[in-house]
Amino acid sequence: MIRGIRGATTVTVNNETEMTDATEKLLQQMIKENQVQPDDVCSIFISVTEDLTAAFPAKALRRFDGWSYVPVMCMKEIPVPESLEKCIRVMMHVNTKLSPADVKHIYLEKAVSLRPDLQKQNH
């Protein structure tokens, strides 16, 4: 079954190093918590808020051994008024036997405010 694994994080500045490092940390935790192997991944979509333009956060995935052939796409999040700033969101499409309730969605930094209901469930 293909399931979506969600994740999000924030950065403090529009900087390539900070964006890539924050994305790497987020992806690492998503992969670990859900026991994801690269061959099980169909694709990964990464969106950023309009205030993040310094880098493609997908570069972080290229730091991982064995993940070279996973298709990744970056895009801009819609600019909703009052939305969380400097936010990087990930949607990982994975072949898994996990039920929807067992998938662990990961929210870091200020992004924990996006889905507090899932934070309680994952701890």
Residue 119 φ/ψ region, left for φ over 0, alpha for ψ in the -120 to 50 degree band, beta for the rest: alpha
How far is Cα 100 from Cα 112, in angstroms, rounded to an integer?
19
How would you classify the pairing of strands 72-76 and 41-48?
parallel
Please identify every residue annotated as catalytic: 6, 62, 74, 77, 89, 107, 115
Calpha distance 82→41 (Å, rounded): 33
| Rounded distance between C-alpha atoms, residue 60 and residue 21, angstroms | 7
